[in-house]
Structure 1
């Protein structure tokens, strides 16, 4: 498989932070990567980001033959996707731009190549409208940063073939990702919707003076977030019910949870809340070197990801 990968080409179209992270990950998996982005200075920024990501990928473990030397760059999308076995598109979250990029990819991509978009919110059915071969366009939405976080959300639009959805799932699994299959299109997909539900209440609690920004972060990072890093919300809820499991706990606290849910705040309708949240973040980070904070986060993420891989009883 490794020898096969070394002869296979992945195309990464759009090389912002997400695209660069994907490029680094595919390189670490032993593929040849050709990246494309029309922005001035894009290649230099891409190579700087890949260099920055590489130590973490080395810690996680490189495939045989993995090398940053396998990265090439072209400002021409057609050149980048020619001969690619898989294409990861990472363009702006604007429908008209997304469609134009997908059209350019389609014009030159091999007929059997899957075209996966990293879109965090656009509906695939809308993005693939007007495409010549919409059956091979899928959602392949990562969680930031893609070179570290295993999750990828996979979804087909109304014109995507079931075969190609399965091919995308199989591909991401084969390169060490943990893809989930989304069965129905919804705005924001799944993980981002779950995040927004949490942020909605976090914003409300801060706006209403219940708690500070820093204490919200502590409440999650030192509380349920520790459990969520190991098991998801349903399995943690199941564990809370003892022998009766999730059935018992929902029967026991369900009425109270419904009451809490009715009391939850709404997402702010104007931008007035932004200054309050930003000032809270500034206060929380006072005295910290945030770049070093992120490096520490990534180091601990690597340790946690490695530990979970060695724990077969964690789903």
Structure 2
């Protein structure tokens, strides 16, 4: 890609994206209306560079390839791809995305880092919403691989595919969503855990430290390996997800959370069983257990080493 990547917004997310694109060997042009934006952006890139260097820099990676434009139009003049990371304000996003569409060429994809707004809601003022897509990262974008890609009602399907392929080509792990969902996938899961934590603290049921320990020393060690679904698949023993749901399904009605549980219909049960079977693929139950155990030991050792300095 000979044309530069444009980063609109130089805060924590925009700065993290700029650092990541630079590490992948791109020229990056950034713009942010704040008077101290350039200084903040360069501090963010400098702070991220040691971690990016440790992870491995692509050919051509160089912080000197960052340029800060004086205007949005200048930043977008030659953009091959635009990553918008403005504050999470719907009216601001609508106007800004419309401006970005107007300032870029007909082949330029404009991706929003929004953490929850559906693109259909944000694209209402754009003259050509077909080029607008959500590219939601996780903080910090230079370190966490996940990007959730989702189009709006007017987004061209090819744009969703092209955006997803672009992110994959630069080393991101992509969830290419089949439909719009406020908050997307990861934030909805994260938010459910966060809200329950707030309930427990508010009601004096657990301390902040107890809640954090419950995750870091408990299920959090398994999630990087298999995620919640395959983790519960293993909880069913050799019977897998089917046994787990049949045995523990009634506990969905127990008062273990303030969230209402969906009805465990036969259709939902079978979908979960199929999904975990497909995800496990050729790996047997024993294979998955061994994989989990090796990874959890490695994660524990890595975390302990990091804490020890």
Fold equivalence (TM over 0.5) = yes
Q: Does 1:198 align with 2:193?
A: yes
Q: Which moved more, 1:154-163 or 1:120-129?
A: 120-129
Structure 1, unmatched stretches of 5+, are: 268-299, 305-315
**What is the root-mean-square deviation of aligned Cα atoms in Å?**
1.8
SS at match of 2:199: helix
> Does the CA-based 8 Å contact 2:110-2:132 persist in structure 1?
yes
Q: Does 1:171 align with 2:161?
A: no
> How big is each residue's C-alpha offset from its partner over 1:208-248, in whole Å with a ceiling of 9 and x where there is no partner?
22221100000001100010122211111112222111111
Q: Does 1:265 align with 2:263?
A: no
Corresponding residue of 1:282 = none
Q: Does 1:249 align with 2:257?
A: no
1:184 Cα shift? 2.3
Corresponding residue of 1:50 = 45
1:106 Cα shift? 1.5
Structure 2, unmatched stretches of 5+, are: 261-298, 304-309
Normalised TM-score (structure 2): 0.82
Q: Does 1:30 align with 2:25?
A: yes
1:265 Cα shift? 2.7
Q: Structure 1 residue runs of 4+, over 3 Å off?
A: none
Distance in 1 between residues matched to 2:176 and 2:160, nearest whole Å: 9
Corresponding residue of 2:10 = 15
> How big is each residue's C-alpha offset from its partner over 1:259-281, in whole Å with a ceiling of 9 and x where there is no partner?
24xx52369xxxxxxxxxxxxxx
Q: Does 1:151 align with 2:146?
A: yes
The within-5 A match list for 1:209-224 is: 209-224=204-219
SS at match of 1:19: helix
> How big is each residue's C-alpha offset from its partner over 1:139-176, in whole Å with a ceiling of 9 and x where there is no partner?
00001110000000110000001110000110110010
Q: Quickly say closer, same or farther: Cα 1:236–1:266, change in 2 above 3 A.
A: closer
SS at match of 2:222: helix
1:19 Cα shift? 0.1
Distance in 2 between residues matched to 1:100 and 1:231, nearest whole Å: 40
> How big is each residue's C-alpha offset from its partner over 1:64-102, in whole Å with a ceiling of 9 and x where there is no partner?
110001000013111111111110001121122112211
SS at match of 2:242: helix
Q: Does 1:101 align with 2:96?
A: yes
Corresponding residue of 1:130 = 125
> Does the CA-based 8 Å contact 2:99-2:126 persist in structure 1?
no
Distance in 2 between residues matched to 1:227 and 1:58, nearest whole Å: 27
Corresponding residue of 2:84 = 89
Q: Which moved more, 1:248-257 or 1:141-150?
A: 248-257
SS at match of 1:230: helix
